[in-house]
């Protein structure tokens, strides 16, 4: 038998593709999100011309750590985040993320850098959730480890309980999506909701997830209005809608990304989260080849 790491890591790479394509298209189309369905012809775009953002850049760091450590080593992850930021700081990092990564890069311990954010409360932004989907895919066959690994990955930059909760929810959703590939989309979505609600710690993220889970027949705009579309850049304002829409569109990557971007808000992060979860279920084959072609090459 081959090394289980190889198969797990290939799943993480598949999900990274789904995340990064959503991120790149979400950023490119965010300023015309209201007419995104009219802008899906990328035939005139050059190869690798649609640039990804910090969502993918930080996911790449996380995947680097999984490749070398087969788990989340917080010290190594902090170093990877800081090194990638220093190499290419113009990826759309938020103000607080820039400060934390500069501090880590200058030698400040990640525990101090992360813990001092927002007056010592830590960040409850959506940054830990936006990058975590490949981790969920990697540990899909050890679901009990996903919350712990997701928490480790989050606290390097987002030590507020709700920032961590958002990362746990997205990682669990992705891992469950991978493990239910043999189920129908409807059955898989039900399993994802059960797993996410059981694993997500109490608080505002869980409260909004539970509310969204009860509204499976709603329209995306209704859920975005009720629970957030990421406009506040917080985990609680982002993750519930993203998991809801990923579950709604589990069998259709294109519709998942388009309907997510249409809701405005934090378009690139929303589409990254949704794209990662849906690719967990569909695999790389679900991503339109033209979208993969135009997305900037990962490095």
Tens of pLDDT, residue by residue over 126-149, are 999 999 999 999 999 999 999 999
Residue 46 or 117, more confident: 46
Which helix H or strand E contains 13, and what residues bound it? helix 4-29
Instruction: Please give the pLDDT value at position 1.
Output: 55
Closest of 61, 25, 52, 21 to residue 275, by C-alpha: 21
Number of domains comprising the chain = 1
Residue 139 is part of which domain span?
A: 4-294
Question: Does residue 271 lie within any of the structural domains?
Answer: yes
Average pLDDT rounded to a whole number, residues 46-65: 98
Phi, psi of 128 (to 5 degrees): -75, -30
Pair 152, 74: CB distance under 8 Å? yes
Those residues with Cβ within 8 angstroms of residue 255's Cβ, 6 or more apart along the chain or in another chain: 249
pLDDT-derived band of residue 216, with 50, 70 and 90 as boundaries? confident
Question: Does residue 299 lie within any of the structural domains?
Answer: no
Read off the CATH number of the domain in which 97 is found: 1.10.4080.10
Three-state DSSP class for 50?
A: strand
Average pLDDT rounded to a whole number, residues 140-169: 97
In this structure, the number of other CB atoms found within 10 A of the CB of residue 9 comes to 18
Q: Is the confidence at residue 232, as pLDDT, over 80?
A: yes
Pair 126, 148: CB distance under 8 Å? no
Average pLDDT rounded to a whole number, residues 52-61: 98
Instruction: Please give the pLDDT value at position 84.
Output: 97
Distance of alpha carbon 185 from its chain centroid, rounded?
20
Question: Does residue 249 lie within any of the structural domains?
Answer: yes
pLDDT-derived band of residue 3, with 50, 70 and 90 as boundaries? confident
Pair 47, 110: CB distance under 8 Å? no
Q: What is the mean pLDDT of the chain?
A: 97
Pair 138, 65: CB distance under 8 Å? no
Q: What is the largest CA-CA distance in the chain?
A: 51
């Amino acid at each position: 038998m081959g090394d289980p790491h190889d198969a797990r890591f290939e799943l993480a790479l598949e999900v990274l593709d789904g995340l990064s394509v959503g991120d790149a298209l979400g950023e490119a189309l965010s300023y015309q999100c209201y007419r995104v369905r009219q802008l899906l012809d990328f035939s005139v775009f050059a190869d690798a011309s649609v640039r990804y953002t910090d969502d993918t850049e930080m996911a790449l760091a996380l995947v680097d750590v999984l490749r070398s450590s087969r788990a989340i080593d917080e010290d190594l992850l902090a170093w990877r985040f800081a090194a990638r930021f220093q190499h290419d700081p113009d990826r759309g990092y938020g103000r607080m993320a820039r400060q934390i990564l500069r501090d880590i890069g200058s030698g400040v311990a990640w525990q101090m850098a992360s813990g001092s954010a927002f007056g010592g409360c830590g960040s409850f932004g959506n940054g830990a959730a936006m990058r975590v989907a490949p981790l969920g895919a990697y540990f899909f066959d050890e679901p009990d480890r996903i919350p712990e690994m997701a928490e480790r990955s989050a606290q390097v930059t987002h030590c507020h309980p709700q920032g961590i909760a958002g990362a746990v929810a997205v990682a669990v959703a992705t891992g469950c999506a991978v493990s239910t590939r043999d189920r129908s989309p409807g059955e898989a979505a039900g399993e994802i909701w059960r797993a996410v609600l059981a694993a997500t710690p109490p608080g505002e993220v869980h409260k909004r997830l539970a509310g969204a889970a009860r509204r499976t027949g709603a329209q995306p705009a209704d859920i975005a209005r009720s629970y957030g579309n990421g406009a506040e850049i917080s985990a609680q304002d982002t993750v519930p809608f993203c998991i809801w829409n990923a579950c709604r569109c589990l069998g259709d990557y294109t519709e998942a990304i388009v309907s997510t971007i249409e809701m405005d808000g934090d378009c690139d992060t929303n589409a990254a989260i949704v794209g990662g979860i849906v690719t967990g279920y569909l695999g790389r084959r679900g991503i339109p080849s033209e979208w993969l072609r135009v997305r900037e090459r990962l490095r």
